[in-house]
């Protein structure tokens, strides 16, 4: 496996995230915002997005898994216990990428009776799932991307930009 050139630079990512952060700030003025980071993939966008939201938001983390190498196993599981009290809270799920929709469908269903409202931000979408995103950064082709939190076999997450992964 090798990665190709840059698909989105650090600057392009940051600019788009700042726009969405400003929109979220407007939309959640009178709400009790909880930003929920879906680990591990969203860790980098989560940090940048949170800094662009000018509200007293609570910060929470959840770990799910569905991917093995570059193929979705289709089976989504929650890692560890979930004991965050979301009663009366407006949860914004922060995810790296929407692919088949298995992960986010599972999470939305899991949270829906636990919170006042549940919305979804995903930095990228491959636009092939019926799941509705409330906020999204970029539509991409059906390719496997890495960097800026996204991995292949746990590597490339620390790249400050996003690249397409290609067969060697």
Binding site for ligand IMP (CB under 6 A): 41, 66-67, 72, 95-103, 144-146, 150
Q: Is 96 in the site for Mg ion (CB under 5 A)?
A: yes
CB within 8 Å of 6: residues ≥ 6 apart: 161, 162, 163
Q: Residue from 21, 41, 101, 149 that binds Mg ion (CB under 5 A)?
A: 41
56 is catalytic: no
Residue 137 to residue 133: CA distance in whole angstroms:
10
| Of residues 62 and 115, the one with the C-beta less far from ligand IMP | 62
Say what angle helices 43-51 and 10-27 make with each other, to 10 degrees.
60
Residue 2 to residue 166: CA distance in whole angstroms:
5
Name the binder of 144 from ligand IMP, Mg ion, none, CB < 5-8 A by kind: ligand IMP
Q: Quick one: DSSP state of residue 144?
A: -
Radius of gyration of the chain (CA): 15
Catalytic residue among 99, 113, 127, 151, which?
Answer: 99
Interface segment toward Mg ion; rule CB under 5 A; list 8-16, 21-29, 39-47, 153-161: 39-47
Question: Would you tell me which residues interact with Mg ion (CB under 5 A)?
Answer: 41, 96
Residues labelled as active-site residues: 99
């Amino acid at each position: 496996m090798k990665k190709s050139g840059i698909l989105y630079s650090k600057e392009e990512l940051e600019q788009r995230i700042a726009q969405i952060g400003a929109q979220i700030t407007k939309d959640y003025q009178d709400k009790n915002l909880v930003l929920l980071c879906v680990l591990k993939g969203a860790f980098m966008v989560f940090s940048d997005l949170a800094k662009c939201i000018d509200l007293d938001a609570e910060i929470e983390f959840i770990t799910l898994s569905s991917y093995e190498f570059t193929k979705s196993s289709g089976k989504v599981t929650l890692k560890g216990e979930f004991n965050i009290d979301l009663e009366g809270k407006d949860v914004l799920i922060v995810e790296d990428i929407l692919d088949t929709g298995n992960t986010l469908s599972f999470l939305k269903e899991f949270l829906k009776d636990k919170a006042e409202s549940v919305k979804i931000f995903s930095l990228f979408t491959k636009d092939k799932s019926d799941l509705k995103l409330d906020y999204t950064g970029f539509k991409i082709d059906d390719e496997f991307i890495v960097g800026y939190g996204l991995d292949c076999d746990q590597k490339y997450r620390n790249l400050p930009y996003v690249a397409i992964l290609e067969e060697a």
